[in-house]
Amino acid sequence: MTETSINPAIFTWDGPHGLPRFEAVKDEDFKAAFDFALAAHEAEIEAIAGNPEPPAFANTIAALEIAGDELSRVSALFWNKAGADTNETIQHLERAISPVMSRHYSKIGQNEALFRRIDALWQARENLGLTPEEMRVLERHWKGFVKSGARLPRAEQRRLAEINEKLSSLGTGFGQNVLADEKNWFLPLSSEEELAGLPGFLRDAMAAAAEARGEAGKYAVTLSRSIIEPFLTFSDRRDLREQAFNAWIARGENPGPTDNREIIAETVSLRAEKATLLGYPHYAALKLDNTMAKSAGNVNTLLMQVWEKARRRALEEEADLARLIAAGGGNHAVAPWDWRYYAEKLRAQTYNFSESELKPYLQLERIIDACFAVAEKLFAIKAVRRTDVAGYHPDVRVYEIRDTNGNLVALFLGDYFARPSKRSGAWMSSFQSQHRLPLKNGAKGEIPIIYNVCNFAKPAEGRPALLSLDDARTLFHEFGHALHGMLSNVTYPSVSGTGVSRDFVELPSQLYEHWLTVPDILREYALHHETGAPMPAELLDKVLAARTFNAGFNTVEFTSSALVDMAFHTRPPGGDPMVLTAEVLAEIGMPSSIVMRHRTPHFAHVFSGDGYSAGYYSYMWSEVLDADAFEAFMETGNPFNPDTARKLKDNIYSVGGSVDPEDAYKAFRGKLPSPEAMLKKKGLAA
């Protein structure tokens, strides 16, 4: 394989400001590019490991930080495609390349000569005159090699490499199965009787979804959250709600080739074996090492503290819904496909407004503007749309992020609409991370190129995209992650942006959600899509008053998922994963009217890769931090207090993983928080 036989556009990003020229890359180009990049990275690693000079931070750690540029570029392009716009060609290569990548990194992590150099630096670290950031980077590399089995006997190293390779393949299969179930199921509706109760915005979205699936003139219920949740909220047809709900929760559990249950069982077993090989009592202990939580015991203590309050509140909410059903002449208990429907009716009664009344004020375009406006107020950066620059899909928008002097800080891409080729959920990722190291191409450092992916229902041509309040929060959440990447100001790429511990990474995103409901922001940006009028003060007051409505349901949905995740990774493996799931839910007293937010067969956070395994709790851990962090602003009487915002940027958003997360938070706030502010925010403090 020679460099001339591959598409240079994969490695040479010469679009505006160094953006990839996406249109120049074809699906068929990736295989050759991966082959070349893997070989190039291996050669760089061998050169570092075999360097005849004594190990030094510059010739070992800094060299590792910039090695593999070609592999980073092809990987960034490919995994973006695999998540946001996949097809059979990409999925076939994804299944093939996942184990190859695993073998590649296992080989690096078990390179004896390389580890000797890193270990020598680690043992002498106090005498090397390292900066605090360099010490963090050295620690990250040393611990990474130890967890890759660098200190294990050869036979155990080989077994660990086999486990990692298999886990990589299993995670890929899991994710593809969930996507297949989501893509293949939809419920076409046509009669007014079938559409009873559905507001106009939802009918528009369902009509567009039906047309995209070859059912022009009909309305499609899909398993995209931005359609299925409002359908469950508004449809008067209980039988259709049940049918759609059961399809939604069955993702990954349908008999046949997309059934994930065996994948889960094998994944859990292999993870437990991996932890044992590395000297940990269970997989959660391995994953929680080097996090703020420290141990599974600490995690479960927090989760159960919240669970008891949330369950008690949820049972009270269920009783309220049951009374509403009975008052309407119903003679059935509250089923999971009933909850959203009757909760919406109860909210309309209690607070005298409904989601359908609110939604016309939450236009996607205006909420995006609100996201950017908050960033400008807090961090003095401005987003400039580049309509002349192509993204990786026609729906993708490209922005320059500039400071008050007009200097380019970052590039941001927004990909907001659902499509069958995109996996569900919402996420932030990067094509390129910020750093200041010199590269072999002569450049010194790189600006961050960050993107957000969401799955909002795409409206019919000429109609505005209207969001639910949860959708709007999701948009703010993901842009909070994006800001973490774009405001990064570090030297080394491994600690750039979101390169922090799992239970700290959600702080910048969850904190950013708070500014969505700051009254000044809603007054300015929540404008009616037809009249342009701002949200009436009376409706705004109701929205703010209802922020903790249904808090028991929402918290039970999340916390049960987090507890099941921890059980899978602390208890002995073996047996049917659905049996373990049922046992855990029975132990904690899961209400029969509520289902886990992510049922085990489609729990992609935990089983489609390793990102949030034994780590789903981290959303709540970070929620403790974000509630306290926003209090720092409210204590000043100004949600945009410039001094507090400066401390937030300097100590949280810009330092990445270059500072210990506890030290970073204390530098911002002066102390670590207790869960009380979080419980208060949820309305569960009493």
Average pLDDT over residues 646-655: 98
* H/E stretch holding 430: strand 427-432
Over pLDDT 70: what percentage of the chain? 99
DSSP characters over 510-551: HHHHGGGG-HHHHHHH-B-TTT-PBPPHHHHHHHHHTTTTTH
- Does residue 394 lie within any of the structural domains? yes
Segment 280-329, tens digit of pLDDT: 999 999 999 989 999 999 999 999 999 999 999 999 999 999 999 999 99
Q: Give the pLDDT confidence score for residue 355 in this predicted structure.
A: 84
Segment 69-97, tens digit of pLDDT: 999 999 999 999 999 999 999 999 999 99
User: Mean pLDDT over all residues of the chain?
Assistant: 96
Q: Could you tell me if 343 and 243 lie in one domain?
A: no
Q: Could you tell me if 462 and 572 lie in one domain?
A: no
Q: Give which of 534, 521, 555 is closest to 302, Cα–Cα.
A: 555
- Does residue 390 lie within any of the structural domains? yes
Q: Could you tell me if 489 and 602 lie in one domain?
A: no
> Hey, what amino acid is at 102?
S
**Burial bucket for residue 177 (CB in 10 Å: 0-12, 13-18, 19+):** buried
Average pLDDT over residues 497-523: 96
Task: Tell me the backbone φ, ψ of residue 410, rounded to 5 degrees.
Answer: -165, 170
Residue 4 has pLDDT above 80, yes or no: no
Report the distance separating Cα 223 and Cα 228, nearest Å.
Answer: 6
478 part of the active site: yes
Q: Could you tell me if 351 and 395 lie in one domain?
A: no
Segment 201-210, tens digit of pLDDT: 999 999 999 9
What's the CATH code of the domain at 58?
1.10.1370.40
Query: Where among 212, 233, 249 does a domain terminate?
Result: 249
Average pLDDT over residues 488-495: 98
Q: Could you tell me if 492 and 569 lie in one domain?
A: no
Sign of the alpha-carbon dihedral angle for 414, 529, 340, 246: negative
Q: Give the pLDDT confidence score for residue 87 in this predicted structure.
A: 97
Q: Could you tell me if 67 and 117 lie in one domain?
A: yes
Q: Could you tell me if 104 and 232 lie in one domain?
A: no
Q: What is the pTM of this model?
A: 0.95
Residue 685: pLDDT band (50, 70, 90) is confident
Query: Where among 151, 174, 208 does a domain terminate?
Result: 151
Residue 686 has pLDDT above 70, yes or no: no
- Name residue 414's beta-bridge partners: 397, 452
Residue 136 has pLDDT above 80, yes or no: yes
Q: Give the pLDDT confidence score for residue 231 in this predicted structure.
A: 98
Selecting among 44, 165, 400, 478, the annotated active-site residue is 478
Q: Could you tell me if 523 and 573 lie in one domain?
A: no
Q: Could you tell me if 452 and 524 lie in one domain?
A: yes
Residue 627 has pLDDT above 90, yes or no: yes
Q: Which domain holds residue 43?
A: 3-109+111-151
- Does residue 657 lie within any of the structural domains? yes
Q: Give which of 660, 662, 654, 650 is closest to 624, Cα–Cα.
A: 662
Residue 556 has pLDDT above 50, yes or no: yes
Over pLDDT 90: what percentage of the chain? 95
Q: Give which of 549, 555, 539, 554 is closest to 356, Cα–Cα.
A: 539
- Does residue 498 lie within any of the structural domains? yes
- Does residue 320 lie within any of the structural domains? yes
Q: What is the largest CA-CA distance in the chain?
A: 84
Segment 224-262, tens digit of pLDDT: 999 999 999 999 999 999 999 999 999 999 999 999 999
Q: Could you tell me if 389 and 515 lie in one domain?
A: yes
Sign of the alpha-carbon dihedral angle for 546, 550, 551, 552: positive
Q: How many structural domains compose the chain?
A: 4
Q: Could you tell me if 86 and 133 lie in one domain?
A: yes
- Does residue 652 lie within any of the structural domains? yes
- Does residue 164 lie within any of the structural domains? no
Residue 629: pLDDT band (50, 70, 90) is very high
- Does residue 616 lie within any of the structural domains? yes
Report the distance separating Cα 495 and Cα 141, nearest Å.
Answer: 11
Residue 442: pLDDT band (50, 70, 90) is confident
Q: Could you tell me if 541 and 563 lie in one domain?
A: no
Give the residue carrying structure tokens 């375009």: 365
Residue 1 has pLDDT above 50, yes or no: no
Is residue 595 within 8 A of residue 336, CB to CB? The reply is yes
Angle between the N-to-C axes of helices 261-277 and 154-184, in degrees from 0 to 180, rounded to the nearest 10:
160
Query: Where among 545, 570, 586 does a domain terminate?
Result: 545
